[in-house]
Amino acid sequence: MTLTLTPLQGIPLIQPGDSIPEIILSSLANNKIELRDGDVLVIAQKIVSKSENRLVNLTSVVPSKRAIELAKETEKDARFIELVLSESSDVVRVRPGTIIVRHNLGFICANAGIDHSNVHGDWGEADDWVLLLPENPDASAEGIRTAITEVAPCNLGVLIIDSHGRAWRNGTVGISIGLAGMPGLVDLRGKPDLFGFRLKITQVGAADELAAAASLMMGQANEASPIVHVRGFPYGLREGSVQELMRPLDQDLFL
């Protein structure tokens, strides 16, 4: 079994309104890659958010009383905290320098996924620009998949990923925040192991495993490799949603 991850070269800086499918198709042609059944395209959240114009300038934000209070606790800009609150359903943990929330999309993350790195607006001060996550990453992934397969018909998976920290380990890893045409979770319960015992618990977060692998190829700084072509994904493609990976609140032992 071979898994091949190829960062697509020549991806331009993405601007609001740019067509991600058109950019991917052009890059695939330039990189001499022809899509096949079972391939997956992994896309960095940042370029999807930019294309969907999820840029916000902090000077346009008016902080609420709650945001001002949390800004003092976190030692962050109250306008930034207001955006975090607007993108979140619950505040999970707060300390100086950190605010952990449950995003409106369902996952736990720092700062509601709002980022400043590699973000630039076309007016005002550069430090005032931030980027929100896509409003509906599953829908974004499905739109990209549909547009690409209309031009290059194949059974294709699309995965949108972001870098998140983890509660008990240092360092960020790539995780899936949206997907289409592929599984988020692969249920192996009932499958035999090497000795014939049937698995009783094992469910594989396949989308997150692939997200972490692709994130290694993308890098985190100035690598300019926000799209990775994947061949050899070891599970069958199917319709899926990132919600498969969200643990129900009544099963969460730590919140």
CATH number at residue 35: 3.30.1330.100
Q: Please state the length of the chain.
A: 255
CA atoms within 13 A on the CB side of 196: 0
Of the residues 131, 148, 181, the one at which a domain ends? 131
On whether the CB atoms of residues 67 and 40 are closer than 8 A, the answer is no
- Same domain as 189, residue 77: no
Split into its structural domains, the chain has a count of 2
pTM listed for this prediction: 0.93
Per-residue pLDDT for 222 more than 60? no
Q: Which domain holds residue 241?
A: 4-54+134-246
Mark whether 242 and 150 lie in a shared domain.
Answer: yes
Nearest alpha carbon to residue 212 among 169, 167, 178, 162? 162
Query: Both 106 and 181 in a single domain?
Result: no
By the 8 A CB rule, do 16 and 108 touch? no
Question: Is the pLDDT assigned to residue 231 strictly greater than 70?
Answer: yes
CATH number of the domain where residue 114 is located: 3.90.1660.10
118 and 32 co-located in one domain:
no
**50 and 64 together in one domain:** no
Same domain membership, residue 39 and residue 25: yes
User: Is residue 173 a part of any domain in this protein?
Assistant: yes
Alpha carbon 227 to its chain's center: 12
- Residues 126, 207: one domain? no
Pair 220, 96 in one domain = no
- For residue 114, give the nearest of 58, 75, 176 by alpha carbon: 58
Helix pair 65-74, 78-86: axis angle to 10 deg: 120
251 in a structural domain: no
Residues 98-116 have pLDDT tens digits of 999 999 999 999 999 999 8
Q: Are residues 95 and 109 in the same domain?
A: yes
Cα 183 to Cα 242: distance, rounded to the nearest angstrom: 8
Summary mean pLDDT of the chain: 93
Residues 19-51 have pLDDT tens digits of: 999 999 999 999 999 999 999 999 999 999 999
Helices 137-151, 20-30: axis angle to 10 degrees equals 50
Q: Do 151 and 74 sit in the same domain of this protein? A: no
Of 87, 113, 131, the one marking the end of a domain is 131
- Cβ neighbours of 210 (radius 10 Å): 26
Neighbours of 16 (CB within 10 A): 13
Are 157 and 224 found together in one domain? Answer: yes
Q: Are 88 and 96 in contact (CB under 8 A)?
A: no
- Among 131, 164, 190, the domain boundary falls at 131
Longest CA span, the chain: 64
